[in-house]
Structure 1
Amino acid sequence: MPRWSKIVIAATLPSTAGVLAWWICVANGLGLDTTSIVVGLVVLLPGTPLAIWAGQAEPDTGPPVSGSRPAPAVIGDVPREPRAFQPRAQLSERIDQLLCTPRPAPVCALVGGRGVGKTHLAAAHARRCIQDGIPVAWLHAETADHLHGSLDQFAADTGLRSDGDDFTAVTRKARAWLQARREPYLVVLDNATDPDLLAPLLPAHGQARVLITTNDHAFERLGAMVPVEQFTEAEAVGYLRTRVSGDDDGFHALAEELDRLPLALGIAAAALVGPPRLSCASYLRRLRATPIEVILARPRGEPYPNGVAQAIMLSVGQTSPAAAHLLAELSVLSTSGVGIELLGPQAETALAELGARSLVTFSRGGTTVFVHRLVRRAVHDQAARDRILPTVIESAARRLCEAVEDISDQDTWRRFPLIMTVAEHGASLWEAVEQVLDDESPYPRASPGPNQRTPPGPAQRATPEPAQRTTTEPELPTAAEPAQPTAAEPEPRTTPEPAQPTTTEPEQPTTTEPEQWASAEPEQWASAEPEPRTTPEPELWATAEPVLRARHTVAAHLIYLNDGIRALPVAEAVVRGRERLLGPDHPDTLAALHTLAHAWEYAGQPMEAAVLYQRVAADRSSLLGAEHPDTLWSRASVAFSYTMAGKAAQAVPMIDQVVADQQRALSPNHPTLLAGRYFQAYTHCEAGLPEGGIELFRQLIADREQLFEHDDPDTWVVKGQLARAYKAAGRAAEAVPLYEHVAEQQTRVLGADHPDTLITRHGLAAAYEAVGRIADAVNTFAWVTYRFEAVMGPEQLLTRTARADLERARRSLRQP
């Protein structure tokens, strides 16, 4: 009704009623006062609501645009409800709360990766609005052309379009029309990709409401954001049960394998229904053996226009090359997530871009980035098809190398979490390398970089620099303490050649009887006939080498921490990889074997280590020569493994001969010679010759003080072992002050929780016990045990030994 008509009615009816009331009152002889009251009530009671009614705007009135007409109930094609639709109540309630609000022109953005069901959620809300009598406009906004086409239809259906209107004019008219709405109206902008494209269309006031679906978090700036992720486990299994019309024990496994992604579940359900009908177990086998762009392709009749892989790669295609390459790297690293620390600050921009496209997610604290399983598979498979997978693996591996190779020995214990993270990523990368190696077709390199490496030859091998490491070995009984149980004390530390690790189960080497080794002369160590060397393709080696190098370095760090159990599978995998690529006699393969032997030694299997050390010593002697530092280092390790196996008496002549050969072939300050002399002094102490060991330690300390600065950490380790030799010689009173001094200096130089410091304090507790200061021994053992558990874990060898010593000392003090 026109507004002027309302005004006439609102003015005429009360006046007419008033006149009629006055006539009736006069006719009945009522007084003037009474008549006035009656007339006033008759006029005011209907007049007030009529005046309010006349002032209201006409519902469904459009903007003052020429030719506009009332809005149709539906503009565009609202998707129908799919079979087995999951209502996702919490998300639906959240959408209703944001859009059904008294504030003007609310905007809500459903943000999530492709295929998570954003469009179906928006369509469900649109269908509810239609049922409630609220008009709906469904507009496609994936590209500028799609939006132009949808707005043209909107303008035509509402009568807004005039001849000669361009897109800007249509947008302006549509926005004005929406802002003039006085009753609810829903606009859905589906699959939006550009916030700047939509911003001019969004109303600033009025009763229209806007619902956007997108995979770009940048739309948060336009309205309230509702994150949409995969189905919950209950929703995914419920969907499969309803869609397949049955029950299958494999629904849970299939839902997890498909990452609970609604799009993937819909495609899988169609395959399960058939024909032919499949079981979940059969489909899972196919799923794991078939590229996802094949098995998860769009079936006929599926309302979503793309298959899973195509949908994912559409999102990847919208990112920058740097972001796409980073996502490819993440797809070959561990599925448990990648720490932001490992990626570095230079990756922040690419990560933000991937996060904005919902291709990655982040942990609550923002310290770890995750890639969903299907995204990983799609990106990984695409990299393989594009033949850039070797390049991706190499760049990811170089990240790992940079992370672990920068960790000094002194910082190894502080960076233990990072080291274990690199170990996990290294295992994932090696799986990808094996895919490349097993591919029958060669993988050409995609743009080799200037740092590409070729297989190293003998001339490229760096001389190892043995330092010192620690394990725990039972204290030697002495004449001064024949019947007393002794505290286990730390052993010497030895740093193997820099290595690289993995996570394959180690193949147990065959143990050779010690007697067969006791009389072995150095010449006999070189009797093995080397096999022909393998030279890999430079392209394959450039891909595999940084992976093996990173894992080898991880193994070396774990051995430094006395963690032979964790180091074993990593070192074994490096050996297998290098044997496969380089052959068994390549210097890098022998370096990996030496590290594997070291891991066996620190895992409590010194004779297993001896077998490998001898093999390496023989091969190095044949390949490099008997007096090469690497050969001499392996020979010294053979002797020392006997010492660690409790056969120090047999090891004494072996290590004395090796040190004599080292002194003849190497300079006095050569790291291999210094490590060999350390082995020699320790072996003499273990063989019941502590006085000889004390003299050897003193000479070594004097030489190291001439060669290195005062606070050299390894020199303090040697001094701690001198204190241990004092105790073994029955001179515990001399050992106590030396232990105390060394522990104080190591605390200052390395920190109170450094494993070297804790090992020294462990020895100090044993020295306290030897001189009868049991209470001090108990307190020190307790503190060392507590810190070992905190720093290295409760199951590490050093922790278990310290705990056993603490319990023994408490029993001797009659403490519970």
Structure 2
Amino acid sequence: MRRSRVLIATLAPLATGGLAWWACVAGGMDLDTTGIVVGLVVLLPATPLAIWAGAGESRRAPVREPVRPEGGAAAIGEVPRRPRAFQQRPGLRDRIEEILASGRPCCLIGGKGVGKTQLAAAYARTCLDDGVPVAWLAAEPLTAALAEMAGELGLLREGDGPEEVRRKVRSWLAGRREPYVLVLDSAADPDEVAALLPATGGTRVLITTNTHAFERVAEPVVVDRFTAGEALAYLRERVGPGDVAAARALVRELDRLPLALAVAAACMVGPPRLPYSAYIARLRAEPVDRLLERPSGEPYPRGVAQAILLSLRAVGRASRELLAELSVMAPAGVGTEFLEGERLTELAGQSLISFSRDGSTVVVHRLVQRVVRESEGSLAATVERAGRRLLGIREVADEDTWRRLPYINAVDGHAAALWQHTKGDTKGDTRGGPRGGPRGDAAAELVLEVRQAVAQHFLYLNDGLRAAPILREVAEGWARLHGQDDPRVLEARHRLATAHEFAGRFEEAVERFGQVVADRARVLGSGHPDTLHSRARLASSLSGAGRFAPELFESVVADQARVLGPDDPATLITRFNQALAHAGAGRHEEAVALFEAVVADQGRVLGESHPETLVSRGRLAQACAGAGRTGAAIVLFERVLGDQERVVGADHPDTLITRLGLAAAYEAAGEREEARREYGRVAERMEAVLGAQQPMTAAAWEGLARVSAG
């Protein structure tokens, strides 16, 4: 019944409010009672599942406490920890502080590997230690980073697109009067960033980029290579005293590039420990031009590729393979939950990886990622190995989606990165992806499987906006591998149509479901269960689009009962949706009769106390309320509430939603003391369980205030 429960949040509120208002007025109810009944009718169709999943509030998690680093303020995102032998670069540091103190945004502009991110991180760490909160966003792509930030702040609502998310975050930043720091690391699009910058408020914005076009967006600070003195000081602190002349020669060889010096220093520290002269000899002997392609117009900074390759040679094969996998995953970093049991010390010792400040995320510099991708074996094999790290997504049960959402979001980011490599269109990767051949196809198959699992979890949360673009690429990928008529392609297209339905794009969903029905009937047959399933979804989408199709529902129910049996879960789902569609069309009495029949059959097939049966009983109570049977609704709500407390617990979202419905029914019936008691109980528990930002929580508090004022 999962799809049924999700559909409630999408379909039922669309029509019931206006129709209930009309019915109440026509029946002679006073305005106060009418308002209560309409509120009850509109409020309750949002199912417990959808509310638990955050439908109508946040497409991610509820408002979470941001990470609080040791001894500092709250942080959103992963602020890099202080690297060894960090050079303060006081001239640059002072200029950054001067610009930000003036209220102007600041952008650090420079080539790859010059230390822009570390300078920004040093400023962020200082702010955190001073009690100033920081949001650290990996700004490529900025859209995804803003969505994560909005989710942390509790700003997201169901249906918010990228522009709306950007507007909300900008408004929130502009509304802050206390100091706040926003760091946009590795930004690529100045227009996108300009649309985010707040015109007022206490937010300081620091940007890192290699694009000089940002000079028109923020006050620029050009970051170049170390000075000779800084480079020597770094080597002296990191490696120790040695031959000064040889150290100077190494600085020249590596062109004072901070990243190259960090990699070289880690290699010299060993074990085994190397003197400067020996390292220089190895560096000059490294045949980098034969090992790596040099992209036209974007050569590697002098010495850095050789330095990275030397460090690669210094670690074992297992570590090299692990680094290769990290180099095809999301550049923002890989959580340690994907790396359990891995020996990261060897890679960290060679400065090939770094860690976030709290140690929960492993980060590989983008330039290191590119060098490794272009030098380490088969890209297809690497993508396949990395993809296997994500297969844990298959073990996440639907009912655990909400609890595991941070993990699912992380898998989404990594799977998207792997898919770009699979397609071979990743920026800066000139070798192309693992297309063609058994190994390339195997990598693509695995990534598609992971992405489809991610999308299915988003659908479980009624988050069609996030699921749709994933499913579009999944359908295209399966079609490229197996042809348009492959059942996997048809299933992905069906889910894509479902995503549009859940996103409220009913007309597009109707069009897509119509095409899938036709193609499934042609390929599988008109009586195939999958074809019938798509017909059922088409009927639901038509209702959502305001084109109630009772005949189609009746036809599908009859065909499913004949092919699958009347007690098959798919048949029960369609009957549930049929009842829901009648309620949405204002046919409340018919909806009551249909829900009663569904409840009876679910009780017989699943059991009277099965959670799904209880949900349907709650929807029956809601249908009675819509039909004006307030007394019957109260009795049903009270019975369901007692059973849900016994079966799933008093704090389960299903139970809380039922209690809220009961409170509203008491209010509509004029039983103010009972309504006040139930509103008070459910408001406190909803705030504790679902969060203060949830619309249902707010509705409970508003109901309590309303009955208390009377």
> Normalising TM by the smaller chain, what interval?
0.5 to 0.7
Alignment partner of 1:353 is 2:324: no
Match of 1:194 in 2: 271
Equivalent residues of 2:687, 2:697 under 8 A apart:
no
**CA spacing shift, 1:422–1:727, aligned 2, 3 Å:** same
Task: Tell me, in whole angstroms, the C-alpha distance in 1 between the residues paired with 2:266 and 2:457.
Answer: 54
Matched, 1:654 2:552: yes
2:373 maps to 380
Q: Distance in 2 between matches of 1:443 and 1:87?
A: 38
Distance in 2, matches of 1:192 and 1:787, equals: 52
Shift of 1:316: 2.0
Say yes or no: does 1:636 pair with 2:536.
yes
Alpha-carbon displacement from aligned partner over 1:659-680 (angstroms, at most 9, x marks no partner): 0001111134433222112222
Secondary structure (helix, strand or coil) at the match of 1:346 reads coil
How much does 1:121 deviate? Answer: 2.1
**How many angstroms apart in 2 are the aligned matches of 1:754 and 1:802?**
14
**Change beyond 3 A, Cα 1:780–1:637:** farther
Structure showing greater Rg: 1
Aligned 1:533-682 pairs, distance under 5 A: 538-647=438-547, 650-682=548-580
SS at match of 2:484: coil
Give the Cα–Cα distance (whole angstroms) in 2 for the partners of residues 571 and 139 of structure 1: 59
Alpha-carbon spacing, 1:444–1:691, altered in 2? closer, same or farther (3 Å): closer
- TM-score normalised per structure 1: 0.49
Asked if 2 retains the 8 angstrom alpha-carbon contact of 1:332 and 1:393, the reply is yes
1:391 aligns with 2:381: yes
1:369 deviates by 1.3
Query: Deviation of residue 317 (structure 1)?
Result: 2.2
Match of 2:114 in 1: none
Larger relative contact order (Cα-Cα within 8 Å, sequence gap ≥ 6): 2
What CA distance in whole angstroms lies between the structure 2 residues aligned with 1:663 and 1:594? 21
Query: 1-side partners of 2:234 and 2:430: how far apart?
Result: 47
**Contact residue 697 and residue 718 of structure 1 kept, 8 A:** yes
Provide, for residues 106-145 of structure 1, a one-character-per-residue CA deviation record: whole Å limited to 9, x for no partner: xxxxxx9xx999972266689x99xxxxxx766999xxxx
Q: 1:750-805: per-residue Cα shift (whole Å, max 9, x none)?
A: 566655455444544443443334535754674587468639xx5xxxx45764x5
**1:315 alignment partner in structure 2:** 311
**What letter corresponds to residue 410 of structure 1 in structure 2?**
E
State the SS of the aligned residue for 1:790.
coil
Give how far 1:636 is off: 0.4
Q: How far is 1:657 from its partner?
A: 0.8
Give the drift of 1:728: 2.3
Partner-residue secondary structure (3-state), 1:191: helix
Please state how far the C-alpha of 1:685 moved relative to its aligned partner. Answer: 3.2
Shift of 1:627: 0.9
- Are 2:625 and 1:727 aligned? yes
Cα distance change on mapping 1:125 and 1:440 into 2, 3 Å: closer
1:711, 1:540 → 2: CA distance?
49
**Do residues 120 (structure 1) and 209 (structure 2) align?**
no
Does residue 329 of structure 1 match 2:325?
Answer: yes
* Distance across 2 between alignment mates of 1:751 and 1:313: 57
Q: Structure 2 CA distance, aligned partners of 1:189 and 1:357?
A: 4
1:415 to 387, 401, 404: 404
1:761 and 1:784 in contact (8 A); partners too: no
**1:628: Cα distance to partner?**
0.8
Alpha-carbon shift at residue 375 of structure 1 (Å) = 1.3
Q: Say if 1:340 and 1:368, in contact at 8 Å, map to a contact too.
A: yes
Change (3 A) 1:361 1:442: closer
CA distance in 1, matches of 2:623, 2:350: 64
Q: 1:786 to 1:191 in 2, by over 3 A?
A: same
- Give the secondary structure class of the aligned counterpart of 2:599: helix
1:623 maps to amino acid: V
Question: What secondary structure sits across from 1:335 in the alignment?
Answer: coil
CA distance in 2, matches of 1:646, 1:808: 30
Alpha-carbon deviations, 1:355-414, whole Å to 9, x = none? 23222122233222111121111112224xx3x111111222232232x21111211111
Q: Which amino acid aligns with 1:775?
A: R
Residues 497 and 508 in structure 2, CA contact (< 8 A), matched pair in contact too: yes
Amino acid at match of 2:307: A
The answer on whether the counterparts of 2:423 and 2:433 sit within 8 Å (CA) in structure 1 is: no
Question: Quick one: structure 1 residues 807 and 570, their matched pair in 2 at CA, closer, same or farther if it must change by over 3 Å?
Answer: farther
CA contact (8 A) 2:494 2:513 kept: yes
- Spell out the pairing of 1:176-191 with structure 2 (5 A cutoff): 191=268
Deviation string, structure 1 residues 329-366 (Cα, Å, up to 9, x no partner): 111111221111133x332xx22322232221222332
- Could you tell me whether the CA contact under 8 Å between 2:475 and 2:492 is conserved in 1? yes
- Output the amino acid matched with 1:629: P
Query: Residue by residue, what CA displacement relative to the aligned partner does 1:249-303 show, whole Å, maximum 9, x if unpaired?
Result: xxxxxxxxxxxxxx9xxxxxxxxxxxxxxxxxxxxxxxxx9549981263xxxxx
Between 1:720-729 and 1:752-761, the stretch displaced more is 752-761
Distance 1:315 1:680, change over 3 A: same
Residues 752, 588 of structure 1: alpha-carbon distance in 2 compared, 3 angstrom cutoff: farther
What do residues 698-740 of structure 1 show as CA deviations (whole Å, max 9, x unaligned)?
4433433444466643333222222222222323333334334
Q: Is the 8 A contact 2:421 2:434 kept in 1?
A: no
CA RMSD of aligned residues (A): 4.3
Spell out, residue by residue over 1:554-609, the C-alpha distance to the aligned partner (whole angstroms, 9 max, x if none).
22212211222332333333233334444433221221121122111221222321
TM-score by length of 2: 0.56
- Verify the 8 A CA contact 1:138 1:190 in the aligned structure 2: no
Q: Secondary structure at the match of 1:678?
A: helix
SS at match of 1:637: helix
Task: Report 1:194-233 matches (<5 A).
Answer: 194=271
**Cα distance between partner residues in 2 of 1:801 and 1:618:** 40
The residue number in structure 1 matching 2:355 is: 362
- Could you say what secondary structure the match of 1:332 adopts? coil
Query: What is the distance in 2 between the residues matched to 1:441 and 1:360?
Result: 23
Measure, in 2, the Cα distance between the counterparts of 1:371 and 1:330.
7
Measure how far apart 1:809 and its partner are: 4.3
Match of 1:253 in 2: none
Is the Cα contact below 8 Å between 1:192 and 1:214 reproduced in 2?
no
| In 1: Cα distance, 2:277 partner to 2:654 partner | 58
Q: Could you tell me how far apart the structure 1 residues matched to 2:505 and 2:87 are?
A: 59
Q: Deviations over 1:303-335 (max 9, x none)?
A: xxxx21221122122222222222111111112
Corresponding residue to 2:614 among 709, 716, 720? 716
Displacement after TM superposition at 1:651 (Å): 2.0
| Cα distance in structure 2, aligned partners of 1:642 and 1:573 | 25
Rounded Cα–Cα distance in structure 2 between residues aligned with 1:780 and 1:123: 64
2:417 equivalent to 1:428: yes
Alpha-carbon separation, structure 1, partners of 2:647 and 2:398? 13
Separation (CA, whole Å) in 1 of partners of 2:348 and 2:659: 48
Q: Deviation of residue 747 (structure 1)?
A: 5.7
- Residue 338 in structure 1 maps to residue 331 in structure 2: no
In structure 2, the residue matched to 1:296 is: 300
Give the match for residue 33 of structure 2: none
1:555–1:749 CA distance, 2 compared to 1 (3 A): farther
Pairs aligned (count): 457
Q: What are the Cα deviations for residues 456-482 of structure 1, in whole angstroms up to 9, with x where unaligned?
A: xxxxxxxxxxxxxxxxxxxxxxxxxxx
> 2:390 maps to which residue?
400
- Closer, same or farther: CA 644–377 of 1 in aligned 2, 3 Å: same
What's 1:371 paired with? 364
Q: Name the CA distance, whole Å, in 2 between partners of 1:780 and 1:87.
A: 56
Q: Percent identity?
A: 40
Q: 1:661 to 1:88 in 2, by over 3 A?
A: closer
Contact 1:190 1:213 (8 Å CA) reproduced: no
Q: Secondary structure at the match of 1:310?
A: helix
| Cα offsets for 1:428-464 (capped at 9, x unmatched) | 111111117999999789xxxxxxxxxxxxxxxxxxx
